[in-house]
Amino acid sequence: MEEKARQLVARLAATPDSAVRDLPFVHRALTVPLLSAASAALRLTLLLSRLRPRRDLPVPVVSVGNLTWGGNGKTPMVDFLARSFHRLGMSPLILTRGYAGGDEPKMLRRRLSDTSAKIGVGANRAAVASSMLRTYGYIHHSKTFCAEKKPSSTSKLESGIIGVAILDDGMQHWSLLRDVEIVMVNGLAPWGNTHFIPRGPMREPLSALGRADIVVIHNADLASELQLKAIRSTIEDNAATCSMFYSRLAPSHIFEAKQPLWKLPLNVLNDKIVLCVSAIGCPNAFIHTVREMGPLKIDRMDFSDHHFFNAHDLKIIQETVRNLMDQHGKDVIILITEKDYDRDPEALTTLDAKVWVLSSSLQIIPHKEHGEDEFMRKVKEILAITGRSKSHAVDWTPS
């Protein structure tokens, strides 16, 4: 029942006002007015939250956020930034809320286990940062990015001293000041019906794009040039001075849910019957990616973002697998995303079918000379400017 309610809200969030009259009467008469009232209350709450005092960390802070719920590529971007800073010789601290069971920090912890990244989880990210900086130590912002000097030394990276903080889902998190504001936009569904949550997908109005230093249009490889042009126009109207980039989620390999260290090539799906099961923000992007790998047949089961698979879900999934086997006379592969796997690694392994996981990483798509190198150059450039402005600041002591 709860899952059906979430799916209903998601459908309404994608329904423009002009199409509301086509909804069933009960939705028009009850659900839409209730959601609209809740949206107004959320808008007021957001305005009040901006009045709270904000803390300034002694390390540079890069915020990764968005204006809408789910499917914008925030977590892949955090992963991308953490690896990039690690390669630069800076140990990153990821500050994340750990929403809905913490599937995203679990995924980041697994994926970044071969780097110097630290992950702090908690709703009060200022308090989490304070604790982590006190535990591991830090390099002051004014010493991190200065002129053309290297960000930090290899010895400091190996010692785990924190050189930069990455604020996951940070755009509406007002307790911490940030040096770089990166806003992710879903190229397949950028603004929904433009209403606030829960009547729509918006967390803030489009004018909030004016705070962005960098806007990244995610899933740009799946959007048409006409769609991208419309998105760029909206961004330029609201954030004329920001830099704009494109990104995609590029698959790298597949692994078995029961044997995560065993990597399989992407072409293993050739001529297979595949059932895509996902509880993510943008399942259409997942389906498109799988289709490009050449399976014989794709079926799908979509659940709401962050959904935990229960016994009833597993029963329906198993029945769907049996039906597909009867139809095609072949074994069926259940394919899930990393986020679904890390939410509960054991959940789907009880099924009588092979469960494989698609592993992917964010890539900056070259566009008008705006590729990966230019993206990180822009991030470092902004951090260097803010670092110089803080070079005479009084030293910070963790509380």
How does residue 148 score in pLDDT terms, banded at 50, 70 and 90?
Answer: very low
Question: Would you list the domain boundaries of the chain?
Answer: 1-50, 61-241+366-395, 250-362
* 250-362: CATH number: 3.40.50
* Residues in Cβ contact with 105 at an 8 Å cutoff, skipping those fewer than 6 apart: 94, 96, 98, 119, 121
Position 171: which residue type?
Answer: M
pLDDT of residue 192: 87
Residue 255 pLDDT > 90? yes
Q: What is the pLDDT of residues 54-113, one digit of tens each?
A: 899 999 999 999 999 888 999 999 999 999 999 999 999 999 998 756 789 999 999 999
- Measure the CA angle with vertex 79, ends 209 and 220; round to 5°: 50
Q: Which CATH number fits domain 61-241+366-395: 3.30.9.40, 3.40.50.1820, 2.40.50.140, 3.40.50.300?
A: 3.40.50.300
Q: What is the pLDDT of residues 199-219, one digit of tens each?
A: 888 999 999 999 999 999 999
Average pLDDT over every residue of 296-323: 95
pLDDT of residue 30: 53
| Cross-strand bridge partners of residue 66 | 184
Residue 149 pLDDT > 70? no
How does residue 241 score in pLDDT terms, banded at 50, 70 and 90?
Answer: confident
Tokens of 110: 């697994």
* Within this chain, domains 61-241+366-395 and 250-362 share the same CATH topology: yes
How does residue 19 score in pLDDT terms, banded at 50, 70 and 90?
Answer: low
* Residues in Cβ contact with 354 at an 8 Å cutoff, skipping those fewer than 6 apart: 256, 331, 333, 334
